[in-house]
């Protein structure tokens, strides 16, 4: 991923340094297990831990020759460890190392993503409670529907990211397995107890059956979950972009004092962060289809999945981490304009109360169809002629015959819509 969309916390996981450290740990733990089983001398295992070192530049140098990264690493390691190095990697295949390492890296990446989500949830919860009862227009189809609160809007996204968090926890469990099963996965040259030992030490589960590689349905599931989270980000981003539209202006990304919205038009304040998040969501989702295509490897394994994972393993997690962090900051500092929310609510003269008038008419004995026509008839005058809804209703003989003025006015009460906000908050946050 390009530096512009990368945070060092996440890129570090995909750096050679981290990869080689994980490789070393896997090999050294495996040696411990092999020593315990009497396959190699215990002193050798101890020596590997004691002397084990490596240097990225040197490994690169060797790899340019051997064109095999695992062999290059083992060669460099041997330069430090000395004769005991021949006990390293006994009965293992490169995939045992590579796939288990990928599992560790994805688990580490997921821990960062889970932390990102936690901070996002916290930010959303804070702002949701802050605006629990801030009246705002609820819109379906982009059209004014009925009143809601800004807190409810945020609570909706909180609930979505909460679900995403659960999905990611499940995806982490799915992906975090250790396979050290040797060529085609039969354990012919390595005892399953080595795998069990390394798994425990590296914080991974045991892959029940591997075929030299860890089955790729796990990775397909993992990247699909990243794709769903990306879509949740897109959803919230688009909400903010809508709220910041010049005609709406109910909320706005923080705009720092010296900031320039446009080089040509000094008046601009653009929701560029949210727009960027929309694009980043597409980038993260781009990993889903290749991950699904990676599942069907030939026989016990082919290596077609490898390049895809070398690219999208880092790219998808880095971009998602960056996006989540950008979103946390955006929500934290989001400027909210309650007065504009109220102004928009009032914009079409109470039209948003049409359902309540409809229900009142039916309760007053009018058929649903007649009630609908009466309300719609007056509503259209508001849309098309800019009339005031309440005035029109009062002046409509059919309506006024059924509902008296004061009762009509009561239909225009905003509080009516908010009586269950606390109930909903309790469902979402466990408190109101």
The catalytic residues are: 141, 262
Q: Is 185 exposed, middle or buried (0-12, 13-18, 19+ CB in 10 A)?
A: buried
Decide: is 46 part of the binding site for a copy of itself (CB under 8 A): no
CB of 406 to a copy of itself, least distance (A): 20
Decide: is 12 part of the binding site for a copy of itself (CB under 8 A): no
CB of 332 to a copy of itself, least distance (A): 18
> Rounded to whole angstroms, what are the CA distances from 27 to 9, 77, 109, 206, 215?
25, 11, 21, 16, 21
Tell me whether residue 29 or residue 353 sits nearer to a copy of itself (CB atom): 353
Decide: is 331 part of the binding site for a copy of itself (CB under 8 A): no
Find out whether 103 and 201 touch, Cβ atoms under 8 Å. no
How many CB atoms neighbour CB 258 within 10 A? Answer: 5
Decide: is 302 part of the binding site for a copy of itself (CB under 8 A): yes
How many CB atoms neighbour CB 408 within 10 A? Answer: 20
CB of 131 to a copy of itself, least distance (A): 15
| Spatial CB neighbours of 321, under 8 Å, sequence gap ≥ 6 | 7, 9, 10, 109, 112, 113, 116
CB of 358 to a copy of itself, least distance (A): 6
List 111, 245, 254, 404, residue binding a copy of itself (CB under 8 A): 245
List 242, 333, 387, 394, residue binding a copy of itself (CB under 8 A): 242
Give 171's Cβ-side CA count (13 Å radius).
25
List 194, 312, 325, 334, residue binding a copy of itself (CB under 8 A): 312
List 42, 51, 307, 401, residue binding a copy of itself (CB under 8 A): 307
CB of 49 to a copy of itself, least distance (A): 20
Of 18-26, 44-52, 288-296, 397-405, the window that binds a copy of itself (rule: CB under 8 A) is 288-296
Q: Is 263 exposed, middle or buried (0-12, 13-18, 19+ CB in 10 A)?
A: exposed
Pairing of strands 177-178, 251-252: unpaired
For a copy of itself (CB under 8 A), the number of binding residues is 156
List 152, 178, 330, 403, residue binding a copy of itself (CB under 8 A): 152
CB of 107 to a copy of itself, least distance (A): 17
Decide: is 92 part of the binding site for a copy of itself (CB under 8 A): yes
Of 15-23, 48-56, 197-205, 308-316, the window that binds a copy of itself (rule: CB under 8 A) is 308-316
Find out whether 298 and 184 touch, Cβ atoms under 8 Å. no
Decide: is 57 part of the binding site for a copy of itself (CB under 8 A): no
Q: Write out the binding residues for a copy of itself, residues 367-406 only, by CB under 8 A.
A: 367-368, 372, 375-376, 379, 382-383, 389
Decide: is 100 part of the binding site for a copy of itself (CB under 8 A): no
CA 336 to CA 249: how far, in whole Å? 9
Find out whether 84 and 125 touch, Cβ atoms under 8 Å. no
CA 296 to CA 184: how far, in whole Å? 16
CB of 50 to a copy of itself, least distance (A): 21
How many CB atoms neighbour CB 166 within 10 A? Answer: 12
Q: Write out the binding residues for a copy of itself, residues 164-223 only, by CB under 8 A.
A: 164, 167, 170, 174, 182-189, 192, 206, 208-209, 211-212, 215, 217-218, 220-221
Tell me whether residue 86 or residue 126 sits nearer to a copy of itself (CB atom): 86
CB of 314 to a copy of itself, least distance (A): 8
Of 20-28, 44-52, 99-107, 296-304, the window that binds a copy of itself (rule: CB under 8 A) is 296-304
Closest to 390 (Cα-Cα) out of 406, 401, 373: 406
How many CB atoms neighbour CB 33 within 10 A? Answer: 22
Give the chain's length. 432
Tell me whether residue 10 or residue 183 sits nearer to a copy of itself (CB atom): 183
CA 393 to CA 381: how far, in whole Å? 10
Decide: is 11 part of the binding site for a copy of itself (CB under 8 A): no
Would the CA dihedral through 190, 193, 198, 204 be positive or negative?
A: positive
CA 377 to CA 385: how far, in whole Å? 12
CA 285 to CA 291: how far, in whole Å? 10
Decide: is 356 part of the binding site for a copy of itself (CB under 8 A): yes
Q: In the stretch 131-150, what mask flags binding to a copy of itself with x, by CB under 8 A?
A: ------xxxxxxxxxxxx--
Give 429's Cβ-side CA count (13 Å radius).
24
Of 2-10, 21-29, 107-115, 396-404, the window that binds a copy of itself (rule: CB under 8 A) is 2-10
Structure token pair of residue 359? 């229900």
């Amino acid at each position: 991923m390009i530096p512009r969309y990368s945070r060092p916390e996440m890129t570090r996981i995909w750096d050679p340094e981290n990869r080689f450290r994980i490789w070393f740990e896997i090999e050294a733990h495996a040696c411990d297990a092999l020593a315990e089983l009497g396959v190699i001398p215990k002193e050798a295992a101890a020596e590997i831990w004691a002397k084990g070192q490596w240097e990225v530049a040197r490994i690169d140098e060797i790899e340019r020759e051997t064109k095999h990264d695992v062999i290059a690493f083992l060669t460099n390691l041997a330069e430090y460890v000395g004769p005991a190095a021949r006990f390293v990697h006994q009965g293992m295949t490169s995939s045992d190392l590579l796939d288990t390492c990928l599992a560790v890296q994805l688990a580490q990446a997921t821990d960062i993503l889970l932390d990102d989500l936690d901070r996002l949830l916290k930010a959303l919860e804070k702002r949701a409670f802050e605006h629990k009862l801030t009246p705002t227009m609820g819109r379906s189809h982009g059209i004014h529907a009925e009143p809601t609160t800004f807190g409810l809007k945020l609570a909706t996204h909180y609930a979505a990211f909460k679900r995403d968090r659960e999905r990611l926890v499940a995806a982490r469990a799915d992906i975090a397995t250790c396979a050290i099963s040797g060529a085609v996965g039969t354990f012919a040259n390595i005892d399953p107890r080595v795998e069990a030992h390394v798994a425990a030490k590296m914080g991974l589960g045991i892959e029940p059956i591997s075929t030299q590689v860890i089955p790729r349905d796990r990775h397909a599931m993992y990247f699909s979950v990243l794709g769903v989270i990306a879509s949740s980000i897109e959803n919230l981003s688009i909400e903010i972009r809508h709220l910041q539209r010049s005609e709406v202006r109910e909320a706005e990304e923080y705009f720092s004092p010296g900031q320039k919205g446009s080089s040509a038009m000094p008046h601009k304040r653009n929701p560029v962060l949210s727009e960027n998040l929309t694009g980043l969501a597409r980038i993260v989702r781009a990993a889903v289809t290749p991950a699904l295509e990676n599942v069907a490897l030939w026989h016990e394994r082919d290596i077609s999945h490898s390049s895809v994972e070398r690219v999208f393993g880092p790219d998808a997690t880095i971009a998602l981490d960056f996006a989540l962090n950008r979103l946390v900051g955006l929500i934290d500092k989001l400027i909210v304009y309650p007065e504009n929310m109220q102004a928009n609510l009032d914009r079409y003269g109470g039209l948003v109360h049409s359902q309540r008038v409809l229900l009142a008419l039916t309760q007053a004995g009018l058929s649903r169809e007649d009630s609908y026509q009466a309300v719609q008839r007056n509503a259209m005058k508001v849309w098309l002629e800019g009339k005031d809804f309440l005035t029109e209703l009062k002046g409509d003989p059919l309506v006024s015959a059924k509902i008296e003025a004061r009762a009509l006015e009561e239909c225009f009460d905003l509080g009516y819509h908010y009586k269950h906000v606390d109930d909903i908050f309790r469902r979402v946050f466990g408190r109101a």
